[in-house]
Amino acid sequence: MTDALFPRLAIIGIGLIGSSIARAARLNGLVDDIAISDLSPVILKRAEELSLGDSYHAAAGDAVANADLVIACVPVGAAEAVAEAIAPRLKPGAIVSDVGSVKGSVVRQMKPHLPDNVQFIPAHPVAGTEYSGPDAGFAELFVNRWSIVCPDEDTEPGSLDRLVAFWAGMGANVECMSAERHDLVLAITSHLPHLIAYNIVGTAADLEKVTESEVMKFSAGGFRDFTRIAASDPTMWRDVFLHNRDAVLEVLGRFQEDLFALQRQIRWGEGDRLYDLFSRTRAIRRGILTLGQDAPEADFGRSHKAPSKPSSE
């Protein structure tokens, strides 16, 4: 008799998040058996070399056969193709979930294809690094990070409890909210910062031609952090912006209004207003530290040791 929360876990896509789930689920005894699928033969072979699973499958349908929990760890734009591929092979009573940064689009893509005898409960671990591929994963990725679970009116309470327990078992703090609220919250806390980072690093790349490498040579901590964010997986973030278009455009419009106001304050020397803004933003930083979502050490607690280079996705 197994003590595992889910006897068989199937992971579709074995990049940073998928490989971290495999490691964490194994380490914490949450599953007995892990089936892994990936479209890339190279990635699938590397996952096997790292012993991330118990079986490895080129076809997602083969991986999900007899699985009690299925997690799609693919770019948001691939969610519908995954749902179509796995639907005929899903075990009755299985829980199907995902890890995408956008939830409304994932629901619209996946739920219509899944049979009525499974539970579809989208989720999003708010954790990651700028690295990708199976080598980049580590079991502690989710510890003290938030995982957002998005049930709907059709979700069975028992299945929801099991999925929440799974994420909590990997060390995550778990919050439940609607898919619509998730997409608006993440548009401001994650998607807009990435969009700004991609833009400012792109601007710097253009200036580099004029400044003869001085932009990179004299990069201060703020710009270094922008480059770290802008080094994230381009396929994933392309899909995030296209599939969370409405929420991103809404917060981007608000950001542009605030930016124009800031421009006027600088132009007209309104130092008091600038000081008030910067004071409010410092309070946000203190709140993040209080919640344990970052470290207060210099350079945001990040190590100055060069990370080992993972294989690319």
Q: What is the pTM of this model?
A: 0.80
Residues 136 and 245 in one domain: no
pLDDT higher than 60, residue 2: no
Please report whether residue 311 resides in a domain: no
Same domain, 125 and 246: no
- 222-231 contacts at long range (C-beta below 8 A, 24 or more positions apart): 225/300, 226/196, 226/197, 226/200, 226/201, 227/197, 227/201, 228/130, 229/130, 229/193, 229/194, 229/197, 230/194, 230/197, 230/198, 230/200, 230/201, 230/202, 231/130
Q: At which of 110, 143, 177 does a domain end?
A: 177
Tell whether 308 is covered by a domain: no
pLDDT of residue 211: 64
Q: Same structural domain for residues 173 and 200?
A: no
268 and 163 in a common domain: no
Percent of the chain with pLDDT over 70: 87
Give 301's pLDDT tier (boundaries 50, 70, 90): very low
Write down the pLDDT at residue 307.
39
Query: Residue 219 has what pLDDT?
Result: 65
Residues 163, 46 within the same domain = yes
Phi, psi of 185 (to 5 degrees): -60, -45
Average pLDDT of the residues in 292-308: 50
Same-domain status, 249 and 169: no
Q: Indicate if 117 and 167 belong to the same structural domain.
A: yes
Q: How many domains does the chain have?
A: 2
Structural domain that includes position 119:
6-177
At 142 the pLDDT is 97
Distance CA 187, CA 150 (A): 16
Q: Which of 156, 177, 198 is the last residue of a domain?
A: 177
Closest CA to 313 of 80, 10, 12, 40: 40
Share of residues in the chain with pLDDT > 90 (%): 62
Q: What is the pLDDT of residues 130-179, one digit of tens each?
A: 788 999 999 999 999 999 999 999 999 999 999 999 999 999 999 999 99
Angle at Cα 21 formed by Cα 312 and Cα 57, nearest 5°?
A: 70
Tell me the average pLDDT across 55-71. 97
| CATH code of the domain containing 288 | 1.10.3660.10
229 with 108, same domain? no
Q: What is the pLDDT of residue 130?
A: 78
Question: Which of the listed residues 177, 200, 215 is the one where a domain comes to its end?
Answer: 177
Q: pLDDT tens digit string along 240-275?
A: 899 888 888 988 998 899 899 999 999 999 999 988
